[in-house]
């Protein structure tokens, strides 16, 4: 009996040991899902200066002016350009009728005004504040002032900066810029020659005529033609009947060397004549009252 109990105990212990040493079934790992890549958003392509201004909606007057002055093609080109762009509100500050008057001759003063808002190159705000002036495409300079971080271009405030475009940059201003007007120099009047009672016109040996073939004398004044050329013959001939009256007709008047031909004019007017032989030129005797 004891042996049977011992055998059963041994079997029970063996069963327990076998149960403890049995390996659990292998666990199949759950695969980690591969994340779907999210596409990186790309910025829309930049538009030209003109297309950017059109899309903005605050520059309708500026765009219309550029189109009228045929500058829209230029500012849609390669550039780069920097445009100080007045808003519609800026144009509205101009006196009534100003824009309409400028549009009457768009390629005149209007074009010059628009070009005065454009600078060659792409000048970002960080560079603008370092400048004191900038030369425009129009040719005149803009004055740039920075006070307490605020930028003025001439008298206009820069209210928005660095609107980048495909061919440059736009800075928004609150006033229309006007190029300086270069004063037209007043021509110095040519003084009228003072009539001389007697004028001598001399034919010289170097073939010059002094003081010239056109002279001014008063009514009653005398013109003396003198030949001072020993090598060449000289003389005068009337071009019209009015002059022929004083020259003794329409025939040539030959003046030998050392001799003179004197004419006194008693009626105001202009009397045309021509020198003969060498040199042959046309002249005038102007007789004043």
- pLDDT at site 183: 73
Give the domain CATH number at 234: 2.60.40.420
One domain, residues 53 and 159: yes
Strands (E), 2-135: 81-86, 118-120, 133-135
Looking at the structure, do residues 73 and 135 belong to the same domain, yes or no? yes
Domain boundary pick from 140, 173, 206: 173
Residues 169 and 242 in one domain: no
Is residue 179 a part of any domain in this protein?
Answer: no
pLDDT of residue 186: 75
Would you say residue 53 lies in a domain?
A: yes
* Residue 53: its H or E element: helix 49-56
pLDDT of residue 188: 75
Residue 277 located in a structural domain:
yes
Residues 54 and 165 grouped into a single domain? yes
Could you tell me the CATH number of the domain that includes residue 63? Answer: 2.30.180.10
Same domain, 134 and 168: yes
How many structural domains does the chain have? 2
37 assigned to some structural domain: no
Question: Does 35 reside within a domain?
Answer: no
* Whether residues 53 and 166 fall in one domain: yes
Distance CA 158, CA 178 (A): 16
C-alpha of 128 from chain center: 21
Which pLDDT does position 12 carry in this prediction? 58
- Measure Cα distances from 216 to 179, 200, 246, 276, 289 in Å: 47, 11, 16, 21, 11
Q: Which of 97, 24, 86 has its CA nearest to residue 59?
A: 86
Helix, strand, coil % over all residues of the chain, rounded to 5: 25, 30, 45
Question: Alpha-carbon distance 247 to 241, whole Å?
Answer: 9
pLDDT given for residue 93 in this prediction? 92
- Rounded distance between C-alpha atoms, residue 111 and residue 6, angstroms: 121
Give all strands (DSSP E) within the chain, no chain letters: 81-86, 118-120, 133-135, 141-147, 150-153, 156-165, 168-173, 198-204, 209-210, 214-218, 222-228, 234-238, 253-255, 260-264, 269-277, 282-288
Q: Judge if 90 and 163 occupy the same domain.
A: yes
pLDDT of residue 27: 61
Specify the pLDDT at position 211.
92
249-254: long-range contacts, CB 8 A cutoff, minimum separation 24: 252/276, 253/225
Q: The pTM is what?
A: 0.53
Q: Are 167 and 216 found together in one domain?
A: no
pLDDT score of 185: 76
Whether the CA torsion 239, 242, 247, 250 is positive or negative: it is positive
Same domain, 91 and 129: yes
Residue with tokens 């003063």: 109
Cβ-based neighbours of 229, under 8 Å, separated by 6 or more = 203, 204, 205, 207, 257
In this structure, are residues 93 and 77 in contact, taking their beta carbons and an 8 Å threshold? Answer: no
213 in the same domain as 135: no
Evaluate whether residue 215 is within a structural domain. Answer: yes
Cβ neighbours of 220 (radius 10 Å): 11
Which residues form the domain of 214? Answer: 198-288
Give me the average pLDDT of each 10-residue run along the chain (289 residues).
58 56 60 70 84 93 93 89 95 91 90 94 93 93 92 94 94 94 74 79 91 94 94 90 91 93 95 87 93
239 located within any domain: yes
Max CA pair span of the chain: 188
R_g of the chain, CA atoms, integer Å: 50
pLDDT tens-digit readout, 9-58:
666 565 555 555 555 556 666 777 777 776 666 778 899 999 999 999 99
Long-range Cβ pairs for the range 56-63 (8 Å, 24+)? 56/163, 58/87, 58/88, 58/89, 58/172, 59/85, 59/86, 59/87, 59/88, 60/88, 61/86, 61/88, 61/91, 61/99, 62/86, 62/87, 62/88, 62/91
Q: Are residues 132 and 207 both part of a single domain?
A: no
């Amino acid at each position: 009996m004891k042996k049977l109990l011992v055998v059963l105990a041994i079997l029970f212990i063996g069963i327990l040991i076998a149960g403890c040493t049995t390996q659990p079934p292998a666990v199949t790992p759950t695969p980690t899902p591969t994340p779907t890549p999210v596409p990186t958003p790309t910025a829309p392509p930049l538009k030209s200066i003109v297309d950017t201004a059109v899309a903005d909606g605050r520059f309708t007057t500026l765009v219309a002016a550029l189109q009228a002055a045929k500058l829209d093609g230029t500012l849609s080109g390669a550039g780069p350009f920097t445009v100080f762009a007045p808003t519609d509100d800026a144009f509205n500050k101009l006196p009534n009728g100003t824009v309409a008057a400028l549009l009457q001759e768009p390629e005149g003063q209007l074009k010059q005004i628009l070009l005065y808002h454009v600078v060659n190159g792409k000048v970002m705000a960080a560079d603008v504040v370092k400048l004191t002036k900038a030369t425009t495409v129009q040719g005149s300079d803009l004055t740039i002032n920075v006070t307490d971080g605020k930028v003025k271009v001439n008298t206009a405030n820069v209210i928005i900066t660095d609107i980048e475009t495909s061919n440059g940059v736009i800075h928004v201003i609150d006033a229309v810029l006007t190029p300086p007007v270069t004063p037209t120099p007043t021509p110095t009047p040519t003084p009228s020659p003072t009539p001389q009672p007697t004028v001598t016109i001399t034919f010289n040996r170097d073939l010059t005529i002094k003081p010239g073939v056109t002279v001014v004398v008063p009514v009653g004044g005398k013109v003396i033609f003198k030949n001072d050329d020993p090598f060449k013959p000289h003389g005068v001939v009337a071009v019209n009947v009015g002059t022929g009256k004083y020259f003794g007709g329409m025939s040539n008047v030959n003046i030998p060397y050392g001799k003179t031909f004197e004419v006194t004019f008693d009626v105001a007017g202009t009397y045309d004549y021509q020198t003969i032989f060498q040199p042959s030129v046309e002249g005038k005797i102007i007789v004043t009252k």
